[in-house]
Amino acid sequence: MPVTPPLPLLKRVAAGVWTVAAWSAGLAFTFLARIRLPGEYASAEVPARLLYQLEGLAFITVATALVLIGSALLRRRPLPGLALLLAASVVASFALSVGEIPLAQFLAVDVALYFIAAERARRTGIIALTAALTVLAGYLTVRVLFGWNVGTSAELAVAMTAVIAWLVGHSVSQAREHAETLIATATAQAVSDERLRISRELHDTVAHSIGVIALQAGAARRVIGTQPDRAGQALGEIETVGRETLSGLRRMLGALRHSRPGHSLRPAPGLADLDRLAAKTTDAGVHVEIQRHGDRRPLPPEIDVSAYRIIQEAITNVVRHAGTSRCQVTIEYRDDELAVEIVDGGRGPRRAAEDGGYGLVGMRERVSMLRGSFRAEARPEGGFLVAARLPLSAGAR
C-alpha cells in the first residue's frame, strides 16, 4: 500500500488557469513598461496613442475575452482554444501600435503550446506549433504589404519562445511515455517473479506427491498377488494423491518451475505458521489479531501457501505504510472456499489500489491463478482492506 505523494502544482491546476495567469502577467507588464518606474529617466516603451483611448481599451477588452473563452476550451478542444488565444494576441497588438506581436501578448500562447505538446498527441502538438508560427509570420506579412514598419528581429525572438515551449512540452510527454513503459515492464516482471515463486513453493508438494505415488505403486505391485485388499488400499491412495496433485497443477497452469542456483528448497509455510508470523509482527510494533471462523481442516497445499503469502504481504504493507499499531486478520473456512480478510485502521493510500505497488500485483496474481476473487481498497471509514476468496478443490471439500 504505497503512500502516493501529492501531484505537483503544475498538474493540479488546469491548463486554462495557467494561460489566463500568463495573459494577466503579460498585460500587467505591458502597462508597466509604458510608465516611468522608480529609478528610470523615461518609460521603457512609448505608449501608443490608442492605448489609453476608448478604442485601445476596447481592443484590450476584446482580447481578454478571447483569452478567457480560449482558456475554457483548452482542455476539451485544444486547437480551437489555441486559435482564440492567437487571435487575442493579434487584437491586443492593434492597441499597442507595434511592428510585431510582443512577447508579453504571446505568453499565454506559449503556455498553451506547452500543455498541448505535453498532454496531447504529437500530431496535435505539431499542428499547434505550426499555427502559432504562421500567425507570427502572417502578422509581419500584412504589415509589410501595407507598408508599415515591422519588428522582424523581435518577432523571431517570440517565435523562438514558441518553439522552446513546444520542445519542453514534447520532452515532458516523452518522459511520461517512457515512465509508463518502465512501469508496465516492472509490473510484468513482478508478475513473472511471483509466478516463479509460486512454482518453487509447489515443488515440494509435487515432489512429495510423486514420491508417495511411487512408493504406493511399488507396495501394490509386491502384494497384489498375496494381499489384494492391501494392494487396493495402496491404489486408492495413489488415486487420491494423483487427483490432488493434478488439481493443483491445473490451477497453477503457466507457473513454470525455474529454480535459481543455490536456492534451497524447503517446506513452504502455511496457515499453521500464522500465529508465529503474528507474534513476530507484534514484536515489531503492530499487534495482529487473528480470528478464525468455520471448521478448521486440511487445505490443498497451493491454497494453504497462497493464503499465508497473501496475509503475510498484507501485514507487511500495514507495517510499512499504514501508520497504525494494529490490524485484524479474519480467516473463514467455508464449504467451497477459503475467505481471507486483512483490515487496518491506518491512513491507507491516496489513490486507488489498482495503482498501487508490486505487492498488490503479486497477491492479485496468486488469486487469479487459483481462479479466486481479490479486492484491495481503501475503507470509507478509514484504513485499508485486503480480501481474497480462494475456491477449494473437490478433494478438500
The residue to which cell 491454497 is assigned:
303
pLDDT score of 197: 67
For the cut 70, the answer to whether the pLDDT of residue 3 exceeds it is: no
pTM score, whole prediction? 0.57
Q: Which of 2-11, 24-33, 180-189, 216-225 has the lowest mean pLDDT?
A: 2-11
Q: Which domains does the chain carry?
A: 9-182 (no CATH), 271-391 (3.30.565.10)
- Give the mean model confidence (pLDDT) for residues 208-229: 76
User: Which has more confidence, 162 or 276?
Assistant: 162
pLDDT score of 211: 64
- Give the mean model confidence (pLDDT) for residues 178-193: 84
For the cut 80, the answer to whether the pLDDT of residue 321 exceeds it is: no
Q: What's the chain's average pLDDT? A: 81
- Highest mean pLDDT of the ranges 33-37, 121-125, 251-255, 306-310: 121-125
How many Å apart are CA 395 and CA 246, to the nearest integer?
11
- Give the mean model confidence (pLDDT) for residues 293-312: 87
Query: Please, what sign has the CA dihedral across residues 373, 376, 378, 384?
Result: positive
Count CA atoms within 13 Å of residue 10 on its CB side: 8
Q: Which band of pLDDT confidence, cut at 50, 70 and 90, is reported for residue 229?
A: confident
User: What does DSSP say about strands 326-333 and 287-293: parallel, antiparallel, or unpaired?
Assistant: parallel
Neighbours of 135 (CB within 10 A): 21
- Report the DSSP beta bridge partners of residue 390: 338
pLDDT score of 251: 60
- Give the mean model confidence (pLDDT) for residues 244-261: 57
pLDDT score of 302: 82
Q: Which band of pLDDT confidence, cut at 50, 70 and 90, is reported for residue 354?
A: very low
pLDDT score of 262: 44
Q: Pick the closest to residue 196 from 253, 108, 257 (CA basis).
A: 257
pLDDT score of 261: 45
Tally the residues of the chain: 397
What are the pLDDT digits (tens) for 329-349? 999 999 889 999 999 888 665
Q: Which band of pLDDT confidence, cut at 50, 70 and 90, is reported for residue 290?
A: very high
For the cut 90, the answer to whether the pLDDT of residue 113 exceeds it is: yes
DSSP characters over 281-331: HHHTT-EEEEEEES------HHHHHHHHHHHHHHHHHIIIII--SEEEEEE
User: Which has more confidence, 53 or 76?
Assistant: 76
What are the pLDDT digits (tens) for 14-33? 888 999 999 999 989 888 87
pLDDT score of 355: 42
- Give the mean model confidence (pLDDT) for residues 187-214: 68
Q: Which band of pLDDT confidence, cut at 50, 70 and 90, is reported for residue 111?
A: very high
What phi, psi does 225 have (nearest 5°)? -85, -30
pLDDT score of 55: 81
pLDDT score of 368: 85
For the cut 90, the answer to whether the pLDDT of residue 146 exceeds it is: no
Query: Please, what sign has the CA dihedral across residues 228, 230, 236, 239?
Result: negative
Q: Which band of pLDDT confidence, cut at 50, 70 and 90, is reported for residue 351?
A: very low
